[in-house]
Structure 1
Amino acid sequence: MTSPRASVLADTLTWSFRLLFALVALLAGAWLVRGVQRVPPENRAVVLRFGQVVRTVGPGLLLTWPSPIESVVLLPSQGRQVQFAPEALERQSPLDQGMQNAPGQASAVSDNARDNTWFFLTGDGGLVHLRTMLFYQIDDPVAYVVAGDHIEPMLRRALITAAVHLCASRSLDGILVARPEAAGTPDRVAQRERFARELVREVNRRLRDAPGAGTGIEVARIDVVPSIPAGAKESFDTVLAVGQQVERSLADARTTAETRRQIAEQGRQGALDDARARAEEMVRTAQARSALILSLGRDPSLDRATVVDQVYRERVKSLFDIVGRVETVPVDTHARTFISGATP
C-alpha cells in the first residue's frame, strides 16, 4: 500500500514533468515560429544555412529553420538602387570641419595626408576635389552576400582609382569651370558632360576585373560635385589678371608692329613708284635721243649728209628761237658778226 507522502511526491513529479514538457513545447513552438518571415515587396531574401547560401527567394512568406540553423539576409530588389557615400569613413575628419568653414564650394586641405583622399591631380597639374554620391544595383544576390563587408571598401577603392585615372587624363577645365575664359570651349564642355558617365563606366570595369569572386553589383549612377581648394580662386584671378595684362601688351605690340609695317610699306611703295617714274623718264629720253640713229637702220633713204643736214637745221632752229635779231656782213671782210639775242 502506497503511503500518502509517496503519492503526493509522485503527483508532484508528474505535474512537474508535464509543466516542463509544456514549457519545452512552448519554447520549441516559439523557436519554430521565428522561422516564419515576411519578405516585403521591395526586397528579396537570401537564405543561409550554417553560413552557406542555400537559396534566394522573392517577396512573400518565407519559411526557414530558425537561427542558428538558417539565417536570412534581406536585400533590395533588382530594380532598386542602393545609395553609398564613399566619404562616409571621413565624416568626422578635420577635412570636413575645414569644409564647413570654407565659403562657397571651396575645399580645405588638411595637414593630415589621409584626410586629403578626395583631392586629385589633373593632367595640366591642377588640383581638384571631388564630392561623390554613388548609386548601385544588386545583380547577383549570392555574390553580394558572399562579398559581405568587402563591398563598400571595394567600391571606394575602385572609385578612387577611376577618379585618379580620369582626372589625370584631362585638364582642370575639363572637369569644372575653373577659368571663365576657357568655360565655353566646345571640347572642354564635352569633357565636363562626359566625366560622370566615364567615371561610372570605369568603376564598373574595375569591379568586374577585381581579383577573386565578383561583387554582384553594378554602379548605375555617380553624382559628382567637383571643386577647387580654398584660396585657389584668388590664384586663378591673379593668373587671369596677369594673362589679361599680357594679352593687352601683346595687342599693343601687335598694333605698333602693324603701324610700323604699314608705314614701311607706304615708304617702300613710294620709293618703288619714284624709281619706276625715273626709270620710265630715262627710257623715254634715251628712246628720243636714239630715235634718229635707230631710224638710219630702218630707212635706207637716209644717208650721212641728210642726217647732218637735219641735225644742223634742228640746232640752228633752236638757236634762232633764242636770238631776237641777226645782222650779217660780207664774208670777204674781216669784220665780225654781232648777234643781239633776247634778254635772258
Structure 2
Amino acid sequence: MDRRAIVAGAAGSEAIAEAARRQDPAQRDREAFEYRLEAKDAPPSVSCASASTSGVCCQLVMRPRESGRKKGGAEGGVSIASHSVATVYEAPLDAKLVQGVRTVFEHLRRGKQCPHTLTHASKRLLFHVEKPTWKSDIRWISARDEGTFAWFASLFEKLGVRRTFSFLGELVLFSGFIVARQSTRKSHFHTDFDGSGGKALTLMTPLYDMSSLSDCHLVCEDGASLVQYRYTLGKAILFGDHFVHATQTGESPFPIAFLSFTFGAKPLSDDEWRSAEAYVMQQNPIYQDPMGRIVKSSAFQHSKLH
C-alpha cells in the first residue's frame, strides 16, 4: 500500500511541523494522527493536523480476492483491501434493491414524526432513531419491532450478502439499519468489533451517488497513516475486528444515507458473541443472536425508547 505522509497544512500545529522536520515519515504520521484524535472541535476547512480529516490523500487500495477453488480467479466480484491489520472486503450489490431502500428513507425523511421514532405506514414499518453524542448529525435508524427487523432480514437475503460472503462461513444477521448524515465537524475514530475472532462484521453501502464529494467518505487508520475509502453506489464495504475508522469531516450539499448490516460467521463462542453483542445492543432496540432468536436490548429498556 502507498503510505505517503499526511502533510500538515498552513493552519497546522507548529509542534507537528517541528516534529515532521526531525522525525522519520512513519513517526511523523503517528504524531499527526495522535494530535488529530486529541484536537478540539474544528470546521472542515482546517488542515489534516487537526480535528479535520478532509483532504486525506491516500486511498484504501482494493484488489480482487482470489478464490480457493480456482487459482488466480476472482470470486463473485469480491475485492480485498491491502490493510495492515484488519480484513476489509468490497463487493457489488444490486443497485435496484438499494434504490428501493433509498425510497423508504426519503419517505421517512419527509415525515413529521417523534425525535426517536419514524414510521412508514403503508409498509407497516416502525423504526427507532438513535443519535450518538459525536460532532456530527449522524443517526442510526433501526428496527423497533420484529416486523421491521424482518424487512431488514429480507434485504440481507435479496441483496445476496449470505451468498456473496459465503466463503466466511455460515452467516447470521445481527441487525440492520439505515445510517443518515450530512455534516461531520470532527471524526470519531472507533472500532465496531475487536474480540470476535474476526467473526463479527459490519457492512455498509451508500444509498446515493457520492462520486462528486471529495470528503464525507470513510477514513481509516492503516499503520501510522490515514487512508480514505470512497463509497461507490452499487458497492458495499465489509469490515470486522480491529478496523479503526471514522466518518470523514465535511458537509455534503445533499443528505447522505447508507444501508448497513451487522452479522456474524458461525460458530461464535460465548466470549466472541458477548464481545460482538456489547456493540450491537447499543445501536438497536432489538437484534438477533447467533441462534436466530430475537433479543430486546437491555440498553433500550428505559429512556432510549421514549
Question: Greater helix share, 1 or 2?
Answer: 1
Same fold (TM over 0.5): no
* TM-score range relative to shorter protein: under 0.3
> Whose RCO is larger (CA < 8 A, sep 6+)?
2
Question: Greater strand share, 1 or 2?
Answer: 2
